[in-house]
Structure 1
Amino acid sequence: MTDAEGFSGLAYVSGICFLLLASLTWLRQQRHRLPYPPGPSGLPVLGNTLQMPHERQWLQYVEWGKKYGKIIHLSVLGRSMIILNSADVIVELLEKRSKLYSDRPTIPLAGEMIGYDQYIALEHYGSRQTEGRKLITGALSVRNMPKLHQIEESKVVHLMSRLIARPVEFRLHLRWFVAAVAFEYTHAYQVEDCDDYFVRLAERVNNDFNTVVKPGKYLVDIFPFLKHIPGWMPGTKFKAVAKEARERVQRLADETFEVVQTRVADGTARASFTADLIEGNPERTPEEEDIFKTTSMTFYAAGTDTTVSTLESFFLMMTLHPEIQRNAQAEVDHVIGSDRLPKVSDRPRLPYVEGLIKEAFRWNPVFPLALPHYLNQDDVYEGYHIPANSTVIANSWAVLHDPSLYPQPFEVLPERYLQQEHGLNPDPKSFAFGYGRRVCPGQPLADDLVFIVAVTILATLNISQPIGADGLLVKPNVSCTGVALSHPGPFECAIAARSVEAEHQITHAASC
């Protein structure tokens, strides 16, 4: 090749590079000329800060959505917040463009000061977060699920026994069951009751988390510079809150890990998620050990509160809808019979029960608003400029109550997932466990726990409205409590064995 030819080729490549650079520059300029998504007008500097709801934010976002559309732009002290109110925009941005939207925003109190940003839920996207997810998804792989199913089926008979003995304490029994399964699988640790030291500590950590992630509750999340002012100054109560919460979450991670580590060292450890990590990595670095601790803690602590909430919703649904309970019981009786208790392996043959479980996840979603995502560079959607560094929030409640996806969205209709002539409603679990690369890795565990409890109750117990002192049925309260995480409000229900034979079956199974 001659020098002239070489120069000509270099000039051609350079020209192409110049055109690409010019095109990117033009696109960047055009993005900044595009409008933000619509939203309520705000004040100078403050933006929409004073308009942000403090309770049940998802409902306000739905109302704004009726006026401004499926994607809304808010400004909080100059920082952009993007609300996604429909399934199509959530799928397009958080699923199809997950590479751009997989990070979490920095939350000064919960993340930096308490340290929740070292745990998978709030951890920034990167190698550490990816490694933790891989550990959990591996533990919940198809190969490992039989062991988990064995634990679930063993513990659920004791749950039924407790429900029959003390039905008024059904919420307490649900908490015990979920904690008992989770601790057994992750640490081979036996939980006898909810007064267990680690259970109480885990619940304190969960309560801390649900409190400190509440938007706008602490000024330091709005004015991050406040974290640098001395703790003796007025208005710095958040520093004491952070110190106590940080100590609790660290104690929970350290002490539960140390229990298993001691057992491994003296040769008494039974097989568990944490024991496998310790035994399989004898030369682990301090950084690896920290990932093991935080992942183990996330495995049981993060999933217990959410799964209990879904089970509470199931109890409320059964209390309110005896006809649905009878339909589900009829299917269970037909498929399983009365000579044995249900197993997880029965699930594929129980489509109506499956629909009922999907409704438990949809009707009162545990996370009405998905944990926030963070956009790491400018983006464009349907002619709107979505600026880099935006906090992006998916309104899962809006999607799960969208009548175009779920007709009669406030009704409990298990058959909505069975009616082929109108097109099947989408599986709500696609919207209830997060999105994209931040979908909850513990979903298989939560899904299994809800199924085995629901199907065993349907096989052996009746849940109904209690009778009040006046002799009339007491209608349950259907309100919800919580901010980041939603629970059904306080309600009463009556629980009894379906038959003498069912009670004997439970008693026998529990004694084995």
Structure 2
Amino acid sequence: MLSAFLILVGVALTILYIRTRPRKNLPPGPKPLPILGNIQNMPDGTIPEYQHWIKFKDLYGPISHVSILGQSLIILHDRDAANAILEKTSTKTSGRPQFVFGNELCGYNQILSFKPYGKLLKQHRKLVHQQLGTKTAASRFRDILDLESRRLLLRILDSPETLFEHIKTEASAIILKMTYGYNLEPHKPDPLALLIEQMTHNFSLAFVPMSWPVDVLPILRYLPASLPGMSFKRIARDWNANMRMVVDVPYTFVKKQITKQSNRPSYVSSLIKQHDGDIDEETEAAIK
């Protein structure tokens, strides 16, 4: 067991060394430290990030580069450069950052904005456009927006000191009703809203740069969870379970409501009815 662990550590260090070697054909930037890269050039939180990065424009031009433990970051400081790279050459530059911890282990690659480009993403976008992509399609939810806006005003009048909580409640109520036809519990904490709030909190932590060792050394995902430093595996397992509940619980709720013929009009119920309940696994994943 010990010898296998030492071999894996050696492989990990070799991979880290290879990843952190300077690469050619990259934009200019500050000189990196060995292994660590430009960790000393990252924002320290004392000023807004844009103020930190704008200094690089004066030093290195409209495009600059830094690296952290072998992970390259390209910073665009100029609107023309951003347009040329992200718009005119979008077929080459379009993509989403893929983090081992957040995307793969926690399962947040199921969220539309984090899905990798491919067949499933195209299918998901098609369904969203079909249900919400036109004024006519979206107009059927106008009454929901009007009702929840009125409820928001009443909550603010009743307890203005908790304005932020009222705004969160309104946003949750609108999203859940439009997506699943689910009515939020009006006078006490709602279990589904709490589940989603927990997922949102976990999500915000999962993608903090340099927070999870497996994002720096992906090979760590293959080590036993019992080893020191592998606590991220337990955390990812718990957060993945929470993510699955956020996806599956409201979807199951809609299916049960349809079976009882008591469902309210919603994004998910409309798509399920389109397929007369006969949905293959791939389509069901896109609807969820």
- Over aligned residues, Cα RMSD in angstroms? 1.9
Name which of 228, 253, 256 aligns with 2:250. 256
Q: What's 2:185 paired with?
A: 192
Counterparts of 1:41-440 in structure 2, within 5 Å, are 41-53=31-43, 55=45, 57-140=49-132, 141-193=134-186, 195-281=189-275, 282-293=277-288
The structure-2 alpha-carbon separation of the partners of 1:238 and 1:50, relative to structure 1 and needing over 3 Å to count, comes to: farther
- Counterpart of 1:74, as a letter, is V
Shift of the alpha carbon at 1:75?
A: 2.3
The structure-2 alpha-carbon separation of the partners of 1:229 and 1:54, relative to structure 1 and needing over 3 Å to count, comes to: farther
TM-score normalized with structure 1 length: 0.49
- Counterpart of 2:119, as a letter, is S
Separation of aligned partners in 2, 1:73 and 1:269? 52
Separation of aligned partners in 2, 1:69 and 1:206? 37
- Counterpart of 1:275, as a letter, is S
Question: Match of 1:83, SS?
Answer: strand
Shift of the alpha carbon at 1:50?
A: 4.7
- Counterpart of 1:160, as a letter, is L
Shift of the alpha carbon at 1:229?
A: 1.2
Separation of aligned partners in 2, 1:148 and 1:97? 36
Counterparts of 1:455-494 in structure 2, within 5 Å, are none
Shift of the alpha carbon at 1:100?
A: 0.9
Separation of aligned partners in 1, 2:40 and 2:227? 25
**Please, which runs of 5 or more residues in structure 1 have no aligned partner?**
1-32, 294-512
Shift of the alpha carbon at 1:259?
A: 0.2
Q: Which has the larger radius of gyration?
A: 1
Question: Match of 2:264, SS?
Answer: coil
Structure showing greater relative contact order (alpha-carbon pairs closer than 8 Å, 6 or more residues apart): 1
Shift of the alpha carbon at 1:219?
A: 1.5
Separation of aligned partners in 1, 2:239 and 2:181? 26
The structure-2 alpha-carbon separation of the partners of 1:58 and 1:243, relative to structure 1 and needing over 3 Å to count, comes to: farther
8 A contact 1:155–1:181 mirrored in 2: yes
Shift of the alpha carbon at 1:142?
A: 1.5
* Identity within the alignment, %: 28
Question: Match of 1:178, SS?
Answer: helix
8 A contact 1:54–1:215 mirrored in 2: no
Shift of the alpha carbon at 1:66?
A: 3.2
Separation of aligned partners in 1, 2:40 and 2:224? 27
Separation of aligned partners in 2, 1:87 and 1:265? 52
Separation of aligned partners in 2, 1:242 and 1:65? 38
How many residues are aligned here? 261
Separation of aligned partners in 1, 2:42 and 2:111? 27
Question: Match of 2:103, SS?
Answer: helix
Q: What's 1:480 paired with?
A: none
The structure 1 segments of at least 4 consecutive aligned residues displaced by more than 6 Å after TM superposition are: none
- Counterpart of 2:287, as a letter, is F
Question: Match of 2:112, SS?
Answer: coil
Question: Match of 2:248, SS?
Answer: helix
Shift of the alpha carbon at 1:73?
A: 1.2
The structure richer in helix per residue is 2
> Residues 169-221 of structure 1: CA distance to partner in whole angstroms, max 9, x if unpaired?
11111011111111111111111347101111111111111111111111111
- Counterpart of 1:90, as a letter, is A
Separation of aligned partners in 1, 2:282 and 2:81? 38
- Counterpart of 1:37, as a letter, is P
Counterparts of 1:439-458 in structure 2, within 5 Å, are none
8 A contact 1:117–1:124 mirrored in 2: yes
Shift of the alpha carbon at 1:57?
A: 4.3
Name which of 36, 48, 71 aligns with 2:26. 36
> Residues 239-276 of structure 1: CA distance to partner in whole angstroms, max 9, x if unpaired?
12111110001011001000000111121112110101
**Please, which runs of 5 or more residues in structure 2 have no aligned partner?**
1-22
Question: Match of 2:257, SS?
Answer: helix
Separation of aligned partners in 1, 2:199 and 2:176? 15
- Counterpart of 1:52, as a letter, is M
